Structure 1
Amino acid sequence: MSGGLGTYETLRVEEREDRVVVTLHRPEARNAISGGMIAELHEVCALLEREPRLLLLTGHGGVFAGGADIAELRRRGREEALQGINSRLFERVRRLPMPTLAAVDGWALGGGAELSYACDLRIAGPDAVFGNPEPGLGILAAAGACWRLPQLVGESVAKQVLLAGRNLDARAALAAGLVIDVVPADELLAEAHALLDRMARLSPTALRLTKLVVDSPGAHPVADDLAQAVLFEGEDKKERMTRFLERNRA
């Protein structure tokens, strides 16, 4: 690991030139998202805001994240809810400059599911299960699922998950468009890296601006034009188009 990040208790972090790989690592608690993990993920976000790179997020031991830490949640009250401890982090993940990918196998429940929803893309292993059982614990999925999930899979499927307690297994998640693909468990990380490799070959500036425009609310033709104007003046665009034309002539 390079010098950009320190030592972590709940994460395993690998820095590469074009990406950062983060593994949720609380094996004693099925990688449940604790306050400590939230703080450490904020540090990763700070790095990726300073040095924009792709992010691969996965979980240790065949589990993505089995939810939030219930013992911690039980101690939280109104003031902690108003602080948006989980939701502020997940929104920060959502707004990272470069694309983010969650590689999910095993459980992605509660806060773990919401963390995966905050990523731009998800790829699943065959045992992946997404669910939001919060109402069974007397709370709601308040870290983004109530509005992100309908955007991702539509209102009907989202209500099946959020209101009826339906879990989406890998096959159902693929059918709903929640994940880009389902691959064998022993190929999950390799396929995730292959997907990031394809994105890494694209123009970084074009990726950043495309993500900004796609995430902008409503119709935004002026934003589209402004982003395109920036890209049209860039050397990257000229070099890439020149290479494309030369290959076609060859």
Structure 2
Amino acid sequence: MNTLVVEESADRVVVTLSRQPQRNAIDAEMIGELHQVCAVIEQEPKILILTGMGEHFAGGADINQLRARTRDDALRGINRTLFDRIAALPLPTVAAVRGYALGGGAELSYACDIRIASSTALFGNPEPGLGIMAAAGASYRLPQLVGVSIAKQVLLGGGTLDAEAALRSGLVMSIVDDPLAAANALADRIAKQAPLALKLTKKIVDAPGAHPWADDIAQAVLFETEDKQRRMSAFLEKKN
């Protein structure tokens, strides 16, 4: 791949955005290559870790390409479709963020289940200053992540969230010196859990509204699995 570095192991895929001279700005080629990664993970579900090469996660979408986009391009939802696909991946996704996560880069991080940041991280959506809006998921993901008031401060007021503000708002899980190492440590913990339990939990949490019946159905499925019997038996044997 030309815009990504992809490292795959038994339980995870680590993807590094690799357009360092452009602060890893997201262009059409990167969108296409990220779709390829999603297709692989959909066929063989694994944990996904996203990070950026060098000092930044992603400084936004490629402005040269955005300037050339038309109404028809917007209606195709080019970036949004990809970020929705990442959000819907079956197993947990983690963004390891250094430096800028702005515009489309911020929206890519919002699409992940969990974000871990360095002290240099900066999240923001300056799109209205360029005559457009943050239309790749920020309008519905950011309010869910940080609340409507803070989301409006970012999306309407041109505000940014540094690492400390992102931590206080719940946007990031932790602030660490090495976000990628912390993301891999988190993936180690996630990988020890039951895959089907993770998949169903993610589906339930991401489903809109209250859905106690869906919880019951998912739990009923899990109660009948061999994995549940094995794990609970092992727990009881260890306890005794």
Same fold per TM (> 0.5)?
A: yes
Q: 1:171 aligns with which of 161, 164, 169?
A: 164
1:86-113 alpha-carbon deviations (Å, 9 max, x no partner): 0000000000000000000100000000
Could you tell me how far apart the structure 1 residues matched to 2:149 and 2:98 are?
Answer: 24
Residue 28 (structure 1) shift: 1.9
Q: Secondary structure at 2:54's aligned position in 1? A: helix
Could you tell me how far apart the structure 2 residues matched to 1:188 and 1:118 are?
Answer: 17
Q: Secondary structure at 1:14's aligned position in 2? A: strand
Residue 218 (structure 1) shift: 0.6
Could you tell me how far apart the structure 2 residues matched to 1:61 and 1:43 are?
Answer: 23
Is 2:232 aligned against 1:241? yes
Segments ≥4 residues shifted beyond 3 Å: none
Corresponding residue for 1:232? 223
Which residue identity lines up with residue 214 of structure 1 in the other structure? V
Q: 1:42 aligns with which of 23, 31, 35?
A: 35
1:94-243 matches, within 5 Å, as 94-184=87-177, 187-243=178-234
Q: Name structure 2 gaps, 5 residues minimum.
A: none
1:59-87 alpha-carbon deviations (Å, 9 max, x no partner): 00010000000000000010000000000
1:138-182 alpha-carbon deviations (Å, 9 max, x no partner): 000000101110000001100110111111000000000000000
Residue 221 (structure 1) shift: 1.3
Residue 230 (structure 1) shift: 1.0
Residue 188 (structure 1) shift: 1.9
Corresponding residue for 1:14? 7
Could you tell me how far apart the structure 2 residues matched to 1:28 and 1:128 are?
Answer: 18
Which residue identity lines up with residue 163 of structure 2 in the other structure? A
Q: Secondary structure at 1:82's aligned position in 2? A: helix
Corresponding residue for 1:29? 22
Which residue identity lines up with residue 209 of structure 2 in the other structure? G
1:29-108 matches, within 5 Å, as 29-108=22-101
Could you tell me how far apart the structure 2 residues matched to 1:119 and 1:103 are?
Answer: 10
Query: What is the Cα-based RMSD across aligned positions, in Å?
Result: 0.6
Could you tell me how far apart the structure 1 residues matched to 2:15 and 2:29 are?
Answer: 15
Q: Name structure 1 gaps, 5 residues minimum.
A: 1-7
Could you tell me how far apart the structure 1 residues matched to 2:237 and 2:89 are?
Answer: 35
Give the aligned length: 240
Could you tell me how far apart the structure 2 residues matched to 1:62 and 1:196 are?
Answer: 22
Q: Secondary structure at 2:48's aligned position in 1? A: strand
TM-score by length of 2: 0.99
Could you tell me how far apart the structure 1 residues matched to 2:182 and 2:24 are?
Answer: 22
Corresponding residue for 1:3? none
Q: Percent identity?
A: 65
